[in-house]
Structure 1
Amino acid sequence: MAHALIAGGGIGGLATALAIARCGHRVTVLEREDTFAEIGSGIQLAPNGFHALNLLGVGQDVRDRAVFVDELRLMDGLTSEKIVGMPVKERYRQRFGNPYAVVHRRDLHGPLLSACRASEGIELVASAAVQRYVQKPASVTVTTADGRTFTGDLLVGADGIRSTVRAHLVRDGAPRVCGHTIYRSVIPIEKVPRRLRWNVVTLWAGPAWHFVHYIIGRGEYLNLAATLDDGARESVSGRPVRRAVVLSRFQELGETARLLLELGEHWRQWVLCDRDPVDVWTDGRVALMGDAAHPMLQYAAQGACQALEDAVVLGDVLADATADDVAQRLEEYNAVRRERTARTQLLAREMGTRVYHPAGEEAQARTAMLRSLTEDDLYEKVHWLHGARDFTRSRRP
């Protein structure tokens, strides 16, 4: 039995803790905040994410809190015309083995946290911000900001896009500021006219901007997210912003989308960041996962799903590992995951520029191409991403 240290108690860190503990190993999760909680708003879960959650034993708990949408719909944000829609009801579920759903982030984090608390093999330590680590041939020791030390057989950095573990391991500096500002608001569904309470993930695309909305919180809230390619260079995270500012930045929105945007209140803004893919995110007994390893823009709606996949692969490769096997097994995890996650990172960037934000002739070409696709064509395009199952299998002989 090995002892795993995990830096970060968010979705990825807790999923990793469950995956490793379910193999019989001992796990200590070190969370920088004084409580284990998830901030943020809505999140999308494709079938590959649910497949990972099922393997972690919390799939049904998340389903009980989810909203199962009928369609992923792309609209022309200027004309209010429908460009394309991909149904995600029964036929989609039969093909990919699981549903497509949207949840509040806390409705994903909560079941993972409850399962970790119920596990005898997992210790949760709050107010423990990992500051540095030191490896020895047979162990790794982390030091927290308040001077405590924890020693284990391996360390997993699940501490997000500004990962302290990554800073020591990859040494590639700050994340790339992509120049897109996103404004987020969550409003009670009672504020939304009944005719606009669509059970659909809807994206209104315009020149250098887009606006997304969908129902979350078991049908009690509408999640709003408006993104502008404004060339922002300063990293911003969760800064409050006045409603009038948000409305002034999306004046081109068509009537229906504008009505929904105007319902938003208590807006907050972020400037989006990601990183270029890297081939190596392990070093001896230390590995990265999720946003610490391969942070991506939200445009493919796969950040959480890829972190969940990472978790189950880590559990898989460590399943029968001894303390002496750890470094080799972490290299295998890296080898299994790097190509798929890099492809997803680059897809997310491409979707932002070529699908959501084009203007003029490029937007017309985008619309013509998408309208030419059948339902089966759309399913085939996402099959590699939504339909993945082999990410759960170790590639060890």
Structure 2
Amino acid sequence: MIVVGGGLGVALSLTRRGQRVRLLERAPAFGEVGAGIQLAPNCTRILDDYGLLEEAKSLGVVPDAMVMRDAVDGTELTRLDLRHLEQRYGYPYLVIHRSDLHGLLLRACGRAGVELITDAQVTSYENTDGGARVTLASGETHEAGVVIAADGLHSLARKLLVDDQPVSSAYVAYRGTVPAELPRVRSVDLAEVVVYVGPSCHFVHYGLRGGELLNQVAVFESPKALAGQEDWGTPDELDAAFAETCDFVRDGLPFMWRDKWWRMFDRDPIMNWVHGRIALLGDSAHPPLQYIAQGAIMAIEDGWVLGEHVARNRAADGTVDWDTALVAYQAVRPEHCRRVLSTSRTWGELWHLDGAPREQRNALLRARDTHDYSFVDWLYGPTALTPDQEPPMFTPIPLTSADAEVPLTVAEGDAA
């Protein structure tokens, strides 16, 4: 079978289930950019199943708590006890450098026998009588019984299913890492994942690589984007967006990379991911905003679920009933991922409130019980992986003021 794009997780999952997998990567080398990424229990349970959890823990940090603070005055609003969370769900919350996670999966794919091909830019997808075919920019073609399109936010394969475009949030993210020996890090508890939420902005920090680095993320709404300008998210906007935040947040801005930034897009949810023998996976199917830290996790979940259904529909001679396996995959994943996309948008609205709604949000969060998991069981539990039980309905708590009505979900997470 063929995997197109950054689908290391699904390539590993399917190879473990007896499939010969060829992964086509458009870049000249396998690599990952960015800084930190958060892996909640719904992901670390899969890494454990793959035999990779201990290696991942050795490369990252298993934090003690997730803390939300007000970005204006710096006061604590609520927290999640991540050690208690591990007891509840059976697996840890882990933070890791993106390049370390990518390297871990790449090495695992190599050991498993995945055929890894670089400089392979796919320009078209098509179904065939016995499977599917992709054509490369070079004119070369590759055929297999099924093609998994893990080709990202700007997916070419998605066009086979829906005529839509990425949706701009008008928010942009700056990232940066700070070495542990610098004074900035000495005052920080690296056992905490912390998010400071402010009007139209937020700031995140947590430790990486066993505490060798402090990862920082600054996200803000761009006035230039709202005005329709093409050059938006620039460093001058970064400084202006955080001008009214507390000293700790402002002191972190000089450590951000100023030569690159990430504009934040998602897409509206779609409920059909399968076109014949071509199936979407990861951001090609469900690119989210980052507010509940589930983007990469959903892709890893997709791959694990598909691998499970391949195993269930594999005959003694090794042949797979792909039509049945793809129908089963389609039955499990889209509704959960729709909910993640919708919740991520709502959570972003909650973080960025101002005025009376901000004060109401803060009061509600301060009243929350630290061990209240009623709003994250659907996310961190195993329900996303099986069709056997219907997930609980998502019911926002309405938060109203004289001139605003904002849905509030008391879930935990952050953009990474």
TM-score by length of 1: 0.91
Aligned residues: 382
What is the one-letter code of the residue matched to 1:6? Answer: V
Q: Give the match for residue 333 of structure 2.
A: 337
**Identity over aligned pairs, percent:** 35
- 1:235 CA drift (Å): 10
Q: Which amino acid aligns with 1:186?
A: T
1:348 to 344, 347, 355: 344
The residue number in structure 2 matching 1:372 is: 367
- Using structure 2 for the length normalisation, give the TM-score: 0.87
C-alpha distance in 1 between matches for 2:98 and 2:220: 23
**Which residue in 1 is equivalent to 2:397?**
none
Residue 341 of structure 1 aligns to a residue whose secondary structure is helix
Residue type at the aligned position of 2:163: D
**Offset at 1:327?**
2.4
Query: Are 2:354 and 1:363 aligned?
Result: no
Q: 1:21 aligns with which of 9, 12, 15?
A: 15
Q: Distance in 2 between matches of 1:35 and 1:240?
A: 28
Cα distance, 1:328–1:44 mapped onto 2, change above 3 Å: same
Q: Is the 8 A contact 1:45 1:100 kept in 2?
A: yes
3-state SS of 2:126 partner: strand
Give the direction of change, closer, same or farther, for the CA distance of 1:171–1:390 in structure 2 (3 Å limit): closer
Q: Distance in 1 between matches of 2:177 and 2:156?
A: 30
Asked if structure 1 preserves the Cα contact closer than 8 Å seen for 2:294 and 2:340, the reply is: yes
Quick check: 1:74–1:204 contact (8 Å CA) kept in 2?
A: yes
Is the CA contact 2:174–2:258 (under 8 Å) kept in the aligned structure 1?
no
Q: How far apart, in 1, do the equivalents of 2:274 and 2:267 lie? A: 16
Matches within 5 A, 1:99-178: 99-120=92-113, 122-167=114-159, 169-178=160-169
Q: Distance in 2 between matches of 1:125 and 1:369?
A: 51
Q: SS in structure 2 opposite 1:26?
A: coil
CA deviation after TM superposition for structure 1 residue 394, in Å: 6.7
Q: Deviations over 1:229-253 (max 9, x none)?
A: 225267999x9955x6532331011
> How much has 1:340 moved relative to structure 2?
0.7
Is 2:38 aligned against 1:44? yes
Cα gap change, 1:394 to 1:204, in 2 (>3 Å): closer
Correspondent of 1:190 among 181, 198, 210: 181
Distance, in Å, in 1 between the alignment partners of 2:24 and 2:342 is 30
Structure 1 stretch 252-261 or stretch 269-278: which is displaced more? Answer: 252-261
Checking the alignment, whether the CA contact within 8 Å between 1:240 and 1:267 is kept in structure 2 is no
**Does the CA-based 8 Å contact 1:316-1:392 persist in structure 2?**
no
Is 1:62 aligned to residue 62 of structure 2?
no
- Alpha carbons of structure 1 residues 114 and 240: separation in structure 2 relative to 1, 3 Å: farther
Please provide the CA RMSD for this pair.
Answer: 2.2
Shift of 1:324: 6.5
- Is the Cα contact below 8 Å between 1:184 and 1:267 reproduced in 2? no
Give distance in 2, aligned partners of 1:112 and 1:236: 36
Residue 81 (structure 1) shift: 0.9
Alpha-carbon spacing, 1:359–1:119, altered in 2? closer, same or farther (3 Å): same
Give the AA of the match of 1:128: A
User: How much does 1:171 deviate?
Assistant: 3.3
Instruction: Note the C-alpha offset of 1:170.
Output: 2.0
Alignment partners' CA distance in 1, 2:163 and 2:362: 38
Q: Deviations over 1:12-46 (max 9, x none)?
A: x0110111111111100000001111111110010
Contact 2:170 2:222 in 1 (8 A): yes
The 1:20/1:159 distance shift into structure 2, 3 A limit, reads: same
Alignment of 1:208-219 (within 5 A): 208-219=200-211
Give distance in 1, aligned partners of 2:185 and 2:299: 36
For 2:265, the equivalent position in structure 1 comes to: 273
Distance 1:193 1:310 in 2: 36
Give the superposition deviation at 1:368.
Answer: 1.2
- 1:272–1:252 Cα change, 3 Å: same
1:206 matches 2:198: yes
Alpha-carbon spacing, 1:265–1:296, altered in 2? closer, same or farther (3 Å) = closer
CA change 1:154–1:236 in 2 (3 A) is farther
Cα deviation per residue 1:362-392 (whole Å; 9 max; x = unaligned)?
Answer: 1111111111111222x22211111x22444
Report which stretch shifted further, 107-116 or 248-257.
248-257
Q: Does the Cα contact within 8 Å between 1:236 and 1:271 map onto a contact in 2? A: no
**Residue-by-residue CA offset, 1:298-329 (whole Å, 9 max, x unaligned):** 00111111111111001011113366721232
What residue identity is the alignment partner of 2:77? I
Query: Measured at CA, do residues 345 and 245 of structure 1 come closer, stay the same or move farther in structure 2, by a change above 3 Å?
Result: closer
Residue number in structure 2 paired with 1:5: 2
> Is the 1:177–1:235 Cα contact (8 Å) retained in structure 2?
no
